[in-house]
Structure 1
Amino acid sequence: MNTKYIDLINQTFDFPQPEFKLEGKELMFHDIDLMELVEAYGAPLKFTYLPQISNNIQRAKGWFDSALKNNAYKGNYNYCYCTKSSHFKHVLHEALKNDIHIETSSAFDIDIVENLKKEGKITDDTYVISNGFKRAQYVTNIARLINNGHNNCIPIIDNYEEIDLLSQEIKGNYNIGIRIASEEEPKFEFYTSRLGIGYKNIVPFYKNQIKDNKKVTLKMLHFFINTGIRDNAYYWNELSKCLKVYTNLKKICPSLDSLNIGGGFPIKNSLAFEFDYEYMVDEIINQIKLACEEEEVDVPNIFTEFGSFTVGESGGAIYEVLYQKQQNDREKWNMINSSFITTLPDTWAINKRFVMLPVNRWHDTYERVLLGGLTCDSDDYYNSEQHMNAVYLPKYNKDKPLYIGFFNVGAYQETIGGFGGLQHCLIPSPKHILIDRDADGNITTKLFSEQQKSEDLLKILGYAN
């Protein structure tokens, strides 16, 4: 009878997979021995596997290069990383090894850009696509960057006032883009994105504020939808409307030469995950080319802004199961030695699911459980995996410690969770490890941050100097 955890996985999924395999009874992630990591650093811990950032960038660039060739597309492609997914220096340094560009969303992002320039990680040739609703400090910082010679900084206009605000502080001529306020998916609580300018208003906006403005040159139309790039009627319909705006605008604005299709590539959230990236890229390029040919305008250069796709699959978190509570006849709670709310806030905030697997004891029998965090909040739990709407793990045994891993958690969790700050119920942020490979391909590890101490939190709260 197949009652071991490894049997469950083999019956349910294709396993092993490129990043996951077993060595003995223990899980390997990109050939990293996770139990060795636990033995060296303890748990809970978070880690970032830096090479996966470059791997995903190169995958996407390859798909777009192939699509441009397959469709005899005359424009070029530019990969941008949207920094809001993870602002950490180690993330940016790894990403920028791959000849990419940057998308910013707030004033302090520009300070990061300037720091990267000082370190030689980016140059004036690097595109800095400045999105977001721009108030005084953001406008000032963008102007400073452009005034200091970074002509490839392109502010994306989000509202009708921004051109005047930017023009007051930018000394010479500058390039801009316009963000389309896309219509949201029908199930949303509102119809149109709060970001950008409505489809019907863009051409009039160009005529009224840009066409005769000698200081400003329109170079880019920016398109992004909240649900990301998906092979469904909603996405293709919104893309079609965007292309209609682009071709209409291009006919009266010769300087317009770039289309930013934003980001939103999904990342793996289950061992059953399937997404045909190559098909989607090819079809997007094909649709853009067909729309432009039909309207007899030149095809645009393509920009993308991949955030989660860039950094998400590099991140992981490992917890120890501390204790099991049998609360009734059906529900067993495995209590982890940390908190889901504080370390993986998207599991609580938007019910997001990640790849969850035990790190050890794969050849033990399994059971159905719920996973609970340490805070006294009733929402601090994780109880739904992709297979059979339940979490199955090796059976709890107080004499045999069980470690569980959450994978592909590298995007947004630190910034949303407030890295280095206060956490709910004063649960400390876990230790964070950076994992890399040296020139010979050997795995190296480095401590990025220690687990928070009582003194760290007391200082924030005003109890200590």
Structure 2
Amino acid sequence: MNTKYKDLIEQTFDFPQEEFETQNGNLFFHGIDLMALTEQYGSPLKFTYLPKISENINRAKGWFNKAIKKLDYKGNYNYSYCTKSSHFKYVLEEALKNDIHIETSSAFDIDIVKSLKKAGKLKDDAFVLCNGFKRDQYIANIASLIDGGHTNCIPIIDNYEELDLLLYETKSKFKVGIRIASEEEPKFEFYTSRLGIGYKNIVSFYEKRIAENPQIELKMLHFFINTGIKDNAYYWSELLKCLRVYINLKKICPTLDSLNIGGGFPIKNSLAFNYDYEYMVEEIINQINTACNEAGVEVPNIFTEFGSFTVGESGGAIYEVLYQKKQNDREKWNMINSSFITTLPDSWAISKRFIMLPVNKWNKQYERVLLGGLTCDSDDYYNSEQHINAIYLPVYEKEKPLFIGFFNTGAYQETIGGFGGLQHCLIPNPKHILIDRNENGEITTKLFKGQQKSEELLSILGYEND
């Protein structure tokens, strides 16, 4: 009878997969022996596999360029990275190796842009698309970038007042985009996004505020769907509404030449994940091409803003199961040596699913368990997994520690959970490891940040002089 954990996975899913395989009962991720990594650095730990960032960027570029060529599309494609997904220097520097552009969302983002430009990492002709709700400091920083000669800095107008704020702050000529306030999915508590300007008001806004002002050039229409690019009636309906606005605007605004289809691609959250990226890209290009050709207007250059898709699948976290608590006849709690609330906040805040797999003991029998974190909070647990809430792991043995990994955690977790600051119940941040490959393709690792120490937390709390 097949009762090993490896048998369960191989019978349930198509396994091994592109990034996952096992050797001698241990899990390998992109050829990285995770048990050896854990033995070298200890746990808990987080890691970032940098080559995956470049790989996903170039996958997307390939899909769009293939569709553009196949459909004889006359515009070009531009990949931009949403910095809010992960602001870390190592992420931006890896992403920018691939001739991409940047999308920002706050004032400090512009300081990062300036730092990257000064270091020669961001080209002077790269597009810097400034999204988000803008007030004094953000406006001032955008203006300083424009005044400094970065002509492809494009503030995306989110509300009517932002244009006046920009005009007050700079006398330079500048380009702008306009964000469409798309309608949300029916299940949302509200009908229209709080961001952007309504479909019906965009043309009149352009005519009254931009058309006759020689200082401003309307360059881009920005379309964003909060739930991402999905093959459903809601997405295609909103895209067609957007295209009608683009066509009407293009007929009276010759400088408009770009359409930003914000809203990202999904990333793999289960071993059973299935998404036809090539089909979606081709259908998006086809819809835009058809609508514009039928209306007799030039097709736009296409921009995308991929954040999670860029960096999400590069990240992972490894924990040790410290102890198993049997609370009743049915429930076994495997307690990890960290906290889900602090290290994977999306897992409890929005019930986001990550791929969860054991790092070792794949040749052992398995059992059904619950996973609990170290804090005293009842929400510090994880139960969303590819087995539909049930979590199966190799049996717990006190003498032979079990290590578990969470994968594709590279987007948002550090910025939402906090990095280097206070954590719930003062659970320290895990150490963070950067994994790369050298010119010979050999795996290299280095410690980016050690585990938080007591002194760091006490200093923040004001105890440093006691």
The normalised TM-score by structure 2 is 0.99
Q: Could you say which residue in structure 2 is the equivalent of 1:382?
A: 382
Separation in structure 2 between the aligned mates of residue 29 and residue 386 of structure 1, nearest angstrom: 18
In 2, Cα distance between equivalents of 1:283 and 1:117: 35
- Counterpart contact for 1:180–1:196, Cα < 8 Å: yes
- Does the CA contact (< 8 Å) of 1:180 and 1:221 recur in 2? yes
Query: Equivalent residue for 1:273?
Result: 273
- Output the CA distance in 2 between the equivalents of 1:76 and 1:170: 30
Distance apart, 1:263 and its partner CA: 3.0
1:78 equivalenced with 2:78 (yes/no):
yes
Q: State the Cα distance separating 1:384 from its structure 2 match.
A: 2.6
Counterpart in 2 of 1:63? 63
Give the fraction of aligned pairs with identical amino acids, expressed as a percent: 78
Report Cα offsets for 1:330-384 as digits up to 9, x if no partner: 1110000000000000001100010000000000000000000000000000013
| C-alpha distance after superposition, 1:165-198 (max 9, x if no partner) | 0011122110000000000000000000000001
Q: Which residue of 1 aligns with 2:419?
A: 419
**How far is 1:388 from its partner?**
4.0
**Counterparts of 1:251 and 1:162, CA distance in 2:** 24
Q: Matched residues in 1 for 2:95 and 2:414: separation? A: 18
Letter of the 2:31 partner, please give it.
D
Task: Kindly report the root-mean-square deviation, in angstroms, between the aligned alpha carbons of the 2 structures.
Answer: 0.6
Q: Give 5+ residue unaligned stretches, structure 1.
A: none
Specify the alignment match of 2:334 in structure 1: 334
Q: 2:314: which partner in 1?
A: 314
Match of 2:323 in 1: 323
Report the Cα distance in structure 1 between the residues aligned to 2:384 and 2:121, rounded to whole angstroms: 41
Q: Distance in 2 between matches of 1:293 and 1:189?
A: 37
Aligned partners of 1:447 and 1:318: how far apart in 2?
15
Residue equivalent to 1:372: 372
3-state secondary structure, aligned to 1:415: helix
- Aligned mates of 1:122, 1:35 — CA distance in 2: 37
Looking at structure 2, the residues matched to 287 and 329 of structure 1 have their Cα atoms a distance apart, in angstroms, of 56
Tell me, in whole angstroms, the C-alpha distance in 1 between the residues paired with 2:202 and 2:134: 18
Cα separation, 2, equivalents of 1:249 and 1:388: 46
Matched residue type, 1:257: D
8 Å CA contact 1:12, 1:387 repeated in 2: no
Tell me how far apart the structure 2 counterparts of residues 305 and 452 of structure 1 sit (CA, whole Å). 33
User: Following TM superposition, by how much is the alpha carbon of 1:92 offset from its aligned partner in structure 2, in angstroms?
Assistant: 0.3
Q: Which residue of 2 aligns with 1:352?
A: 352
Pairing 1:15-414 to 2, within 5 Å after superposition:
15-414=15-414
Matches of 1:378 and 1:296, distance apart in 2: 59
CA distance in 2, matches of 1:123, 1:364: 52
- Alpha-carbon distance, 1:418 to partner: 0.8
- Conserved in 1, the CA contact under 8 Å of 2:227 and 2:263? no
- What amino acid does structure 2 have at the position aligned with 1:223? F
Measured in 2, the distance between the counterparts of 1:427 and 1:196 equals 39
Question: Counterparts of 1:139 and 1:426 in 2: how far apart (Å)?
Answer: 36
Match of 2:320, SS state, is strand
Alpha-carbon distance in 2 for matches of 1:389, 1:108: 39
Corresponding position of 2:12: 12
Please tell me the residue identity of whatever aligns with 1:60. Answer: A
Amino acid at match of 2:178: I
* Preserved CA contact (<8 Å) 1:325 1:334: yes
Q: Secondary structure at the match of 2:180?
A: strand
CA contact 2:351–2:384 (8 Å) conserved in 1: no
Q: Secondary structure at the match of 1:197?
A: coil
Q: Distance in 2 between matches of 1:226 and 1:263?
A: 6
How many Å apart are 1:100 and its aligned residue? 0.3
- Unpaired runs of 5+ residues, structure 2, are none
Distance in 1 separating the partners of 2:253 and 2:120: 35
- Aligned pairs, number: 465
Deviations 1:382-439 (A, max 9, x none): 0131224310000011011000000000000000011110000000000000000000
2:90 counterpart SS class: helix
- Residue identity in the other structure for 2:172: G
